[in-house]
Structure 1
Amino acid sequence: MMDISLISASYQKSSARASTRSWHRSTSALALALVALAITLQPGVALAQTADADQKVQGEDIIVTGSRIARDGSQAPTPVTVVGRDLIQAAAPENLADFVNQLPQLAGSSTPRNTNLGVTSGQSGFNSLNLRDLGVARTLVLIDGRRSVGSSDQRGLVDINTIPQKLVQRVDIVTGGASAVYGSDAVAGVVNFITDTKFTGVKSEVQGGITRYGDDATYQASLTAGIDFSDRRGHLLFDAEYARNEGVSAVNRDWGKTGYQIINNPAYTATNGQPQRLVATSVGFTNIVPGGIITNTKLKGTTFGPGGVPTQFNYGSVVSDPWMIGGDWQASNSVVTTNALDPATKRYNIMLRGDYEFSSSLHVDASFSYSDSLTVNLCCHEYFLGNLTMKADNAFLPTAVAQQAAALGISTFSFGKFLTDLPRFGARLDRQVYRGVLGLNGKFDALGIGWTWSAYGQHGEAIIDERATNVTNTARFLQAIDAVRNPSTGAIVCRSTLTDPTNGCVPFNVFGTGVNSPQAAAYLLGEASRRQKLTQDVVEAQISAHPFSTWAGPVGIATGVEHRVEKLSGTSDDISKTGGWFAGNFLPTNGSYNVTEEFAELDVPLAKDLPLASLLNFNGAVRFTNYSTSGAVTTWKAGLVYSPIKDIRIRVTRSRDIRAPNLQELYQAAACLNNAPVFNPFTGINDTARECSTGTTNLKPEIANTTAYGIVLQPRMIPGLTASVDYYDINITDGLITYARDVIVNNCFAGLQSYCDAVIRNATTGAILQVNRVPFNAASQVERGIDIDASYTRPLSDIVASWPGAVTLRYVGAHYIKNVLNPGVGLTSDLAGNNTSAGVPSWRHYITLAYNSPAFTGTITGRGISAGVYDNSFIQCTSGCPTSTAANTTINNNQIPGAFYLDLAATYRFRTKGSKIEVFGAISNLFNRDPVPVSRGPGFLPLVATNPSLYDMLGTTFRFGIRASL
């Protein structure tokens, strides 16, 4: 992980200056109830990033992310990776999250490209961060050290799109638990966005981009203005942004049209030595095509083309229902790949901020921000995988087929179809976020000690309008496809109309393509909707000081209190409440909780400037938390920093962190499925029960114990070089997980009362009436890995005195050694090295080579991942295979290649009278490398034949723009 000194701008006028800017970050821990100063302290506020600002803080104590005590950053026990504004601007990303997600410490984040199919879940179109691939809910996102209202979905995740992108000065990534310092959700760490609250002048930026295929066009514009007043005691700031992405409405790339899929091997037996699963290309469905296919009876394989013309389907050489290899595989594949590759998005961000220093004892800041983010996503055509039951007397059935059915005595048959006569269904999500913050801080003297205090109050609201567009009303659809001829008029009508002539049903023809009128489509289509409101109120106060000194330096203390209230309320359309749409069926969630926390931190220098002890420092923190839903819990953190000599620093931390259940896990409204089959172990017979997925308040926080060891090298004999290596071990217990209904029932039968609470049985007969699929604190997870961060900066004047600028080479790497998930019931799996959407690669790399001078900056970036597998438990073989088991499935190809992408960026600066202008450009995926094919089979639709979380799907992208400042 990176030493915080690396946030300095890549251009340094001297290596000695770079060394003195050695800022480190600290996350601290240890039970310190030591001070009963129940006042409060200040969150990790910004530390300057630019070279000029660096000069102002040299020799002063600063506050670094992960700690609430001002100190020399070199004493921080916990590593921080820092992304400075210069690097962000050089890359000119479409949005800030795209850039941050390239860093190896993040994996599995939610992005518009990997959530674009989340129509029913309401998760399409937002950017939320995932540290360590431990889950987006276990990463805490802060803005200037303060919490922000959630804005993504019912989980309350912060959408990075809502943060003022162009005002961000740097991003601090604390990889390691930080719950004792910042509270719940920091199991994997903290991502803190530091904004430039002291900007003065006027600056603007206009940027545009497009792929080499002429799609996914992007447009951005921003304006920032800041002014000092009252002899610089006050400051006003305004920032506004507009960004738009046209998206890519289909998988219109050759790599997405190969029919790459995993299927079950139809020839497999337990003794014939063949693999149970096959990875293959040219794979398509056997039970669905655009015009429809009969999937049973002696009419099996009859398909219907344009205008309803019947033909015989070619099943190919290998058939493993619902899949096949070869034959007419493209008939289904061509429709599957019509889903959007990248959704269209549009967002507006506005922020107003003012601050005023009344005296050294009182400084006031107030800010208001508003964000409106709109995502429009096209998913796919509605589909029925052979599960429609059609009657042979259907009036739309071609005469030849109807006669054949009559001759064979066939009255009904199973049918599969893509509804290509209807527009693709999709999602439209509008997220509006309001956030107001009032902050106070100052200094005072008491008891002969200089104290620093701060307090802030925040109110945030997110209004989320979710719509599933162009979805069919299930009841109307089933009526419309059951078409007959009116015996009186001979006209084709819905069968239901014969007994209810005024029901308005418009018959719909499923036999063929291009066979339906706009009126037939209009009768079926509608829009599922849900409107939700997330509210967050936070009040925090804190105080810190250095009340006394040891012989090695001043001792720092900090303490404070925080109170937070989270609420979620919503409504949805009436049809969704009954599950009456093909997709969507949104249910509103209503609930709230509050939490009160007391925290304290201690920083003690133990040795300084001794032989073999240039520095020895202890840092500890403790937080006492009381949730209205789950009661009290304590988190803590302890760390040591030891430098035998100034060139070497060793750091060790141990922490206990938590993640409390979110509003969705607590209060999700019951989404129920009737007639769910379930085996009743109490009676030994099968029951038909109601299955409901819902939240529950019978949950407690997840617990994570984290241990980290690291070493930082800054050799004086090689000025400009800083390197760090950190090992971490995270052990999560009481992890939240939702089980299938059979698992819940079996655990109840085993005598576990918490599971019996989710099973409703008939008091007399013992029959299972309902199973509630609720989350349980039953999973555990262990992740171990190594982080590497190394940087070397060399001013070119060291080589030739007249050469301007400097060259910086930086490597950031993450090695995921182990990521073992134990669901509590069933098989344990190691997700490290699993390159599917369920896991994380063994290695992630990020390399930059940058030249920076006053007039020009050029950057070459390499980003890559190691090769991996589909599943670490799979056994790869093509012959002589052992018997396949649930624990060790055999497969003919378990390999997924890695990838490496090169990006280029350049900025040229020139000055005019009173202004500075920058012209910049960037090229991503320079060599247009296609994504590696990754199958989701055999139980999933092959909607995107790769892993969008790891591989670049868009190809080469060009971005150009101009910045101007006064």
Structure 2
Amino acid sequence: MKTSTKLRLSAGSFAVGLVLASTPSFAQDEAVDETEAEEVGDLIIVTGSRIASPTVESPAPLQILDDAAIDDAGVTNVQELLLENPVFGTPALSRTNSAFLTSGTGTATVDLRDIGSARTLVLINGRRVVGSVANSPIVDLNVIPTQFVERIDILTGGASSLYGSDAVAGVVNFVYKRDFEGIEANGQYGITEHGDDARYQLNTTIGTNFADGDGNIMVHFGYSNEEGLLSRKRANTAVDDFDLFRLTGNRDDFGTESIPFFSSFPPQGRFITPTRTFTYDPNGNLQNCFTTNGPTCAATIGSGTGPNGFNRQNFRTIAVPVERYLFAASGEYALNDDINFFFEGTFNKTSSAREIEPFALSSSGTTGIYPGSGQMPIENYLPGTNTIVANPYVPAAIAAAATDTDGDGLRDIGFVRRLVEFGSRLGSTERDFYRMVVGFDGTLADDRFRWDVSYNYGQVSENQISTGQVNVVNFRDALAAIVDVNDLDGDGLTTDVICLDAEARANGCAPANIFGAGNISQAAVGYIQAQGTFQTGLKQHVVQGNISGSLFDLPAGPLGVAAGVEYRRESSFSDNDALTNQGLNAGNVLPDTSGKFDVVEGFVEVRVPILANTPGFELLEVGGAVRVADYSTVGTVYSWNVTGTWQPIDDIRIRGTWARAVRAPNIGELFAGLSQTFPAGLSDPCAGIGATGGGATGDNCRADAGVAANIAANGTFTLNQADLQGISGFNGGNPNLFEETADSWTVGAVIAPRSLGGVFERLTLTADYYNIEIEDVISGFPRADTLDQCYNQGNQTFCGLITRRPAATAVNSAGSLQFINALQVNAAVTKTSGVDVTANWWAPLGVTENDRLSMRVAYTHVIENDFFSLPTEDPDPSAGEIGTAKDRFTANLNYQTDLFKLGFTGTYIGKSSEDDGFCAAFAALDPARGGSCPTVPAIFYLDMNASFYVTDQAEFYFGVDNLLDTDAPNLLSGTSFNVTGTDTAADVYDPFGRRYYAGVRFRF
């Protein structure tokens, strides 16, 4: 290729060069001198600055993970490797926490600093990536072709001034391989020690130069499959259980199983009358009592014994299966000495599936079959007559105990039932990802400046189909069953059972017998069942241009500058099926959502060397950047940073950053439709308020006309049980949101004691303190806090979210709470701080340069991670709680020769506690211990990998993850961090146990 363009690096692409060839696979701010830089190119750009310079030093904490580390880890999805790094918190989405979600099944995300995945910006080659989660910017790491990645740059700290919105916690930049020639292929298979969750992958990368070296093109094909793991496949998760601590409040009971803890929605049904509750025993005999988990029923009609509950765990999932097809390509062509054309393309198809227990249906409740009365009629009027006919499926004993509870002249009952005849609730998701980038880059002014312009297009579409749901209207028609004594359906039969409603019969209604397990006919199932669908789409267009270089030389070095402009347009939609939209599938109303926005941005960055090669000041440099962005949604926002680097001697570098970052609200936060919910556990602050008194709360309550009418009629504000249970509300977006703002700063040191020689010559230590405070955090405000702010604090903004029933309502309901909405608002504050420490060391051990021992350690101590629902409220701390351990580290030890490589990776998660708010509720039950939160002990995982170089072109490798077979701590149902179906926090701890993998790799 032409000599002046042998390494084409634009402000949107990054390289580290020889650093990664001469250091361990996980580097931290390693620097090369200018001689080395010239060997890999005149100027390079490192994540954390857009200014091209001759070194890879970063003023902000930067960790670099290279392709050797990716290969050694043997991961199927790069998320697994990243989560070992302690700077990452619990992922919002992963294979082990998405089985119960209505969308996002199998998605893999990352969350720097544990302050939300939407505040971590994911880039490919320095450019944005379209999100994969509906109406959000969150990127699914399934779209990353792992074996096509040359390295991963992890920049922690606010970087909005350089990369735009969402980089509040930092940036994860995946840098693809380039200028690759040859063929690299690998195949790998892995399985757990239990013989489940098989994982396999096949990958091929092919690259070649053309046009006498002026061009290069690379293509990558990848396939991977993770088969998944069902809860019933493991003894410890096969049966429903419950944490005894939740039942007793005794801290010593934390993690102790109460077995079984079955569901009270059984497949044989539970039928409620005013005096008795009926069910069926395992032999199909009717009994007039029900015990969910107990050993016996005292009063029986048949011979039944308990328990009568249902084991949901038999149908649940520990890890969802994920299958991926990946294609990636990139290329470049030198048009002349100063201009190059480049392109990138990625296609990914991800398929995932989920299984959870059969649907639990009730006659009552807001999502029940009969949302008004909550009662199922067991007799009906014949059409056009006053003749009452009984439902022939209702057993005589139940009919004898039934009464008319709703005053319509017909006896009725309540029921709950598990719909096993409909099968498990299954969901399949197909997600297609497309991304392409085309552009030009080059040099100006005798290579003093580098420039690039590019167009970046991304699109994601998701189609989800779910089964096991019901059509509530059809179910209601199917339950209205009668004996067709008058041959209403005209089939000539007078003893058959039919649906009462003629229109329903015309539409195929088949009567449903819910009494006893397995008694709903397949004809009735076919009429009642409803297939759910969920479709989403996201599109992103980005046009950008950048220029970087040095304006002129100062005594201490060149004055670096970078500038750029960007236009970005994003749109997204999510569509549910019609029944879901109307809440007619026994669920709440879920609306569709769509929205779009665009933004024009510009930035300038400067780096000013003040002193160099002076005693006490080998380098003193300051820099800064500012970005102005004009959004179609929130208007103009500003972000900036100030950086400083002082190197008193060659071996020590002190650095610091101070930054203002912004995050503009995403499409879901702005435009999500109103989805109805029926919150429980709310207390009306106006209850008991009289005509006078009550202080400010009393005055605020009486200001409502309905409350005043209720007090006038009853003396005090009086509520009945129906009022308390009838509170509803809507969750939704808010088009009036504005941006979050974060002030962050870091200060740290890089110590490379080369002058000491010996074992210190190849040692690099870093230590950095970070502090991030985000104001105007976008979140749904808790409804209990909304009531408090309105009536106890007099905050009218929150009063606007509350609707009470009018004065004209029946006396006992006048003024009662009807709706409390929880729209997204800019109200909360998040604060986090901590310390990162890394160490990298290697030493030659043999006669060849490949004989070496290397070590790397990354440690993070979290000082605080607090969430304030309002700036004036007390914080909800999470530092030290499960998923946000105060102390975490990952350590790697590797030994390699010309013939083999052996490595060990240890991951430590410090002692962690239950949620403090959860524990506070049980403080009174455990006075001897002061209500202190129970804890889980520190956990240590050890992984091993080995490679054998059979020839120069062939390598055999194998590894063992969780070599010590460390068990995940018991975090059972009823505790805060339990992931349903796993009996632990499966997104924090390893639920699989020891597992093995092996593979071959070829290079030609």
Give the TM-score taking structure 2 as reference length.
0.82
User: Contact 1:75/1:617 (CA < 8 Å) preserved in 2?
Assistant: no
Equivalent residue for 1:37? Answer: none
- Give the partner amino acid of 1:823: S
Q: Secondary structure at the match of 1:284?
A: coil
Give the whole-Å Cα distance in 1 for the aligned partners of 2:262 and 2:273. 15
Residue 935 (str. 1) matches residue 972 (str. 2): yes
User: Contact 2:363/2:376 (CA < 8 Å) preserved in 1?
Assistant: no
**Higher relative contact order structure (alpha carbons within 8 Å, sequence separation ≥ 6):** 1
Equivalent runs, 1:486-497 vs 2, <5 Å: 486-488=484-486, 493=497, 496-497=500-501
Equivalent residue for 1:868? Answer: 912
Equivalent runs, 1:903-942 vs 2, <5 Å: 903-911=943-951, 916-937=953-974, 942=980
- Pick from 818, 829, 842 the counterpart of residue 876 of structure 2: 829
Between stretches 503-512 and 172-181, larger displacement belongs to 503-512
Provide, for residues 99-139 of structure 1, a one-character-per-residue CA deviation record: whole Å limited to 9, x for no partner: 1122111111134334423442x121111111111001000
- Pick from 467, 470, 476 the counterpart of residue 469 of structure 1: 467
- Pick from 155, 178, 199 the counterpart of residue 180 of structure 2: 199
User: Contact 1:78/1:653 (CA < 8 Å) preserved in 2?
Assistant: yes
- Give the partner amino acid of 2:862: Y
Give the whole-Å Cα distance in 1 for the aligned partners of 2:858 and 2:127. 27
Equivalent residue for 1:952? Answer: 990
Equivalent residue for 1:253? Answer: 234
Equivalent residue for 1:69? Answer: 51
Equivalent runs, 1:447-596 vs 2, <5 Å: 450-488=448-486, 493=497, 496-497=500-501, 501-582=505-586, 587-596=591-600
- Pick from 117, 133, 137 the counterpart of residue 136 of structure 1: 117
Q: Secondary structure at the match of 1:86?
A: helix
Equivalent residue for 2:71? Answer: 89
Give the whole-Å Cα distance in 2 for the aligned partners of 1:793 and 1:297. 77
- Pick from 101, 107, 111 the counterpart of residue 89 of structure 2: 107
User: Contact 2:92/2:116 (CA < 8 Å) preserved in 1?
Assistant: no
Give the whole-Å Cα distance in 2 for the aligned partners of 1:511 and 1:386. 13
Residue 856 (str. 1) matches residue 856 (str. 2): no
- Give the partner amino acid of 1:724: T
Equivalent residue for 2:225? Answer: 244
Equivalent residue for 1:811? Answer: 857
Give the whole-Å Cα distance in 1 for the aligned partners of 2:902 and 2:506. 71
**How far does residue 164 in structure 1 lie from its aligned partner after superposition?**
2.0
- Give the partner amino acid of 1:923: V
- Give the partner amino acid of 2:950: F
**How far does residue 503 in structure 1 lie from its aligned partner after superposition?**
4.6
Equivalent residue for 2:3? Answer: none
Give the whole-Å Cα distance in 2 for the aligned partners of 1:803 and 1:776. 58
Between stretches 374-383 and 513-522, larger displacement belongs to 513-522
User: Contact 1:69/1:601 (CA < 8 Å) preserved in 2?
Assistant: yes
Equivalent residue for 2:889? Answer: 845
**How far does residue 356 in structure 1 lie from its aligned partner after superposition?**
0.8
- Give the partner amino acid of 1:737: S
- Give the partner amino acid of 1:810: R
Give the whole-Å Cα distance in 2 for the aligned partners of 1:61 and 1:433. 33
Give the whole-Å Cα distance in 2 for the aligned partners of 1:719 and 1:405. 87
User: Contact 1:492/1:507 (CA < 8 Å) preserved in 2?
Assistant: no
Instruction: Pick closer, same or farther for the CA change 1:747–1:512 going to 2, 3 Å.
Output: same
Q: Secondary structure at the match of 2:992?
A: coil
- Give the partner amino acid of 1:895: T
Equivalent residue for 2:781? Answer: 739
Question: Hey, which of these two has a bigger chunk of strand by percent?
Answer: 1
Residue 719 (str. 1) matches residue 761 (str. 2): yes
- Pick from 936, 952, 964 the counterpart of residue 896 of structure 1: 936
**How far does residue 266 in structure 1 lie from its aligned partner after superposition?**
7.3
Equivalent residue for 1:291? Answer: 268
User: Contact 1:730/1:784 (CA < 8 Å) preserved in 2?
Assistant: yes
**How far does residue 288 in structure 1 lie from its aligned partner after superposition?**
2.9
Give the whole-Å Cα distance in 1 for the aligned partners of 2:278 and 2:652. 72
**How far does residue 63 in structure 1 lie from its aligned partner after superposition?**
0.7
Give the whole-Å Cα distance in 2 for the aligned partners of 1:542 and 1:410. 76
Identity of aligned residues (%): 28
Equivalent residue for 1:211? Answer: 192
Residue 440 (str. 1) matches residue 440 (str. 2): yes
- Give the partner amino acid of 1:424: S
- Structure 2 alignment gaps of length 5 or more: 1-14, 297-303, 369-374, 379-389, 487-492, 687-700, 711-718, 809-813
User: Contact 1:736/1:776 (CA < 8 Å) preserved in 2?
Assistant: yes
Instruction: Pick closer, same or farther for the CA change 1:19–1:921 going to 2, 3 Å.
Output: closer
Give the whole-Å Cα distance in 2 for the aligned partners of 1:601 and 1:581. 54
- Give the partner amino acid of 1:857: K
Residue 176 (str. 1) matches residue 157 (str. 2): yes
**How far does residue 757 in structure 1 lie from its aligned partner after superposition?**
5.4
Give the whole-Å Cα distance in 1 for the aligned partners of 2:664 and 2:520. 52
Provide, for residues 654-693 of structure 1, a one-character-per-residue CA deviation record: whole Å limited to 9, x for no partner: 1111111111111112223589999584242677676332
Give the TM-score taking structure 1 as reference length.
0.85
Between stretches 492-501 and 514-523, larger displacement belongs to 492-501
Instruction: Pick closer, same or farther for the CA change 1:234–1:786 going to 2, 3 Å.
Output: same
- Give the partner amino acid of 1:196: K
**How far does residue 566 in structure 1 lie from its aligned partner after superposition?**
0.6
Between stretches 709-718 and 482-491, larger displacement belongs to 482-491
Give the whole-Å Cα distance in 2 for the aligned partners of 1:502 and 1:669. 35
- Pick from 727, 732, 740 the counterpart of residue 702 of structure 1: 740
Provide, for residues 272-292 of structure 1, a one-character-per-residue CA deviation record: whole Å limited to 9, x for no partner: x99999975325257333433
Instruction: Pick closer, same or farther for the CA change 1:756–1:872 going to 2, 3 Å.
Output: closer
Give the whole-Å Cα distance in 2 for the aligned partners of 1:20 and 1:303. 68
- Give the partner amino acid of 1:359: N
User: Contact 2:29/2:63 (CA < 8 Å) preserved in 1?
Assistant: no
Instruction: Pick closer, same or farther for the CA change 1:236–1:711 going to 2, 3 Å.
Output: same
Give the whole-Å Cα distance in 2 for the aligned partners of 1:922 and 1:395. 63
- Give the partner amino acid of 1:784: S
Equivalent residue for 1:38? Answer: none
Larger Rg: 2
- Give the partner amino acid of 2:839: A
Between stretches 334-343 and 90-99, larger displacement belongs to 334-343
Provide, for residues 366-422 of structure 1, a one-character-per-residue CA deviation record: whole Å limited to 9, x for no partner: 222211111111122212479564556654444455556689999544433322232
**Cα RMSD over matched residues?**
3.9
User: Contact 1:528/1:586 (CA < 8 Å) preserved in 2?
Assistant: no
- Structure 1 alignment gaps of length 5 or more: 25-46, 48-52, 320-326
Give the whole-Å Cα distance in 2 for the aligned partners of 1:541 and 1:348. 32
**How far does residue 56 in structure 1 lie from its aligned partner after superposition?**
6.6
User: Contact 1:651/1:710 (CA < 8 Å) preserved in 2?
Assistant: yes
Give the whole-Å Cα distance in 2 for the aligned partners of 1:435 and 1:110. 23
Equivalent residue for 2:826? Answer: 777
Give the whole-Å Cα distance in 1 for the aligned partners of 2:650 and 2:607. 20
Instruction: Pick closer, same or farther for the CA change 1:251–1:110 going to 2, 3 Å.
Output: farther
- Give the partner amino acid of 1:843: D
Give the whole-Å Cα distance in 2 for the aligned partners of 1:928 and 1:700. 48
**How far does residue 619 in structure 1 lie from its aligned partner after superposition?**
2.1
- Pick from 109, 112, 135 the counterpart of residue 154 of structure 1: 135
